[in-house]
Amino acid sequence: MDHRGPKFARLGAKVLEGMKSIFKTRGQVFIYPASGTGAWEAALVNTLSPGDRLLMYETGHFAALWHGLAERLGYQPEFIEGDWRGGADPRAIAERLRQDSAHQIKAVCVVHNETSTGSTTLIGQVRQAIDEANHPALLMVDTISSLASMDYRHDEWGVDVTIAGSQKGLMLPPGLSFNAVSEKALHASKSAASRKSYWAWDEMSGPNASGFFPYTPATNLLYGLAESIDMLMQEGLDNVFARHLRLAVATRSAVNTWGLEVLCKNADHYSSSLTAVLMPEGHDADNFRRIVLENFNMSLGNGLSKVAGKVFRIGHLGDFNELMLLGTLAGVEMGLELSGVPYQSGGVQAAMDSFSNRTGTENNSRQVASN
């Protein structure tokens, strides 16, 4: 396909428009032939100048990676320490912003869904915290592992830059990433002095207006993206979110029954797209993961950096349903048995119970609303 021809332009226009519906924004969306890390970089270099201060929140490994990236790029990111067991605390953010009467902090950066911990940050509350502090900082949110799996509202929650990637809720291979951008962020980009070219929004806007891109796009993934958007719209975003919530509730029922602990301690912050589980003291999570892989050909997520060897992660996002989850949970439960980890059996049964009676689902519908 000729990426300078009329057929391509129709595809380009379709996916650019479709992604606005996914982000729930009327603003602009930029698509990069890059993985999510690139979209992190794009969010910063388009809006900031060298030496700018940022406020970031240590929700886990990926927040720490983003923090490191900001440092490498020459910004001064302040890091509110976290215990990796919940989402960002809006009060801590509000407090820090109130101290910044000089408005030196140019952006607040949080991860919506920490893939390393299974904790979610309530973005609406972060927005409220910034507003209450009367602070002009931009709000940037990483939704790499939540977009199209959990409810997300770029415009309503007043987010300035949302970062996303192709390989999770969009059910594609990795290789595309996104910035959804508010008017305020676009305005900031006019005076942002950071050097950039590949990531530059201003070079994208012109060609995008007619469905094109300023350099060679990842054509095949864009075709796939058009399909993914169609599939999500056909199922209905609300149904997609409800499905992921059901899967998450069932997973936590299993974990509780096993007598293991969900890493996320704050029930309001539970993730719908993955659950991280703490291993009992004295038991190595990676040894357990190896046993599961060898016996059941299933690859569980590993604990990253601070929680390496201490947690394993169960993904339940994307093109995933109840029976696939139950197979997964069964692999975990049998792996616990084979690994000699102390546990109570019945986890899979508990997950099944949560699917076959309605009350489980209703109890948890609260969470969606409260987000």
Query: Which residue ranges make up the site for a second copy (CB under 8 A)?
Result: 2-5, 32-38, 41, 50, 65, 68-69, 72-74, 165, 167, 173-175, 194-198, 200, 214-221, 293, 296-299, 302, 321-328, 330-331, 333-334, 337-338, 345-346, 348-349, 352, 355-356
In whole angstroms, what separates CA 279 from the centre of its chain?
24
Can you read off the two tokens belonging to residue 297? 């050909």
CB of 340 to a second copy, least distance (A): 11
Minimum CB separation of residue 45 from a second copy in Å reads: 8
Strand partners, 140: 109, 161
Neighbours of 299 (CB within 10 A): 11
- Alpha-carbon distance 174 to 215, whole Å? 19
User: What gap in Å lies between CA 273 and CA 281, rounded to an integer?
Assistant: 26
Residue closer to a second copy by CB (options 37, 256) is 37
Quote the tokens at residue 115: 């893939």
Cβ proximity to a second copy: between 25 and 253 the closer is: 253
C-alpha span between 349 and 353 (Å, rounded): 6
Residue 239 half-sphere exposure, CB side, CA atoms within 13 Å?
A: 9
| Cα dihedral 37/165/331/150 (nearest 10) | 120
In the complex, minimum distance from the CB of residue 324 to a second copy, in angstroms, rounded to a whole number: 6
Residue 301 Cβ vs a second copy, minimum distance, rounded to whole Å: 8
Least distance to a second copy from the beta carbon of 153, Å?
25
Nearer of residues 27 and 118 to a second copy, judged by Cβ: 118
Nearer to a second copy, 87 or 301 (CB): 301
What amino acid occupies position 309? G
Instruction: Check residue 307 and report its DSSP letter.
Output: G
In whole angstroms, how far apart are CA 182 and each of 32, 189, 190, 215, 296?
17, 11, 13, 23, 46
Tokens (6 digits) for 29 = 């969306």
**In whole angstroms, how close is the CB of 73 to a second copy at the nearest point?**
5
CB neighbours (10 Å) of residue 321? Answer: 11
Nearest-approach distance from CB 331 to a second copy, in angstroms: 5
- Return the number of the residue (233 or 324) whose C-beta is nearest a second copy: 324
Q: Which is nearer to a second copy, 226 or 334 (CB)?
A: 334
Q: What is the DSSP string of 182-203?
A: -HHHHHHHHH-----STT-HHH
Provide the residue count of the chain. 371
* Residues 6 or more apart whose Cβ sits within 8 Å of residue 238: none
Q: Which is nearer to a second copy, 93 or 277 (CB)?
A: 277
Q: Which is nearer to a second copy, 13 or 334 (CB)?
A: 334
**Least distance (Å) from a second copy to the CB of residue 34?**
5
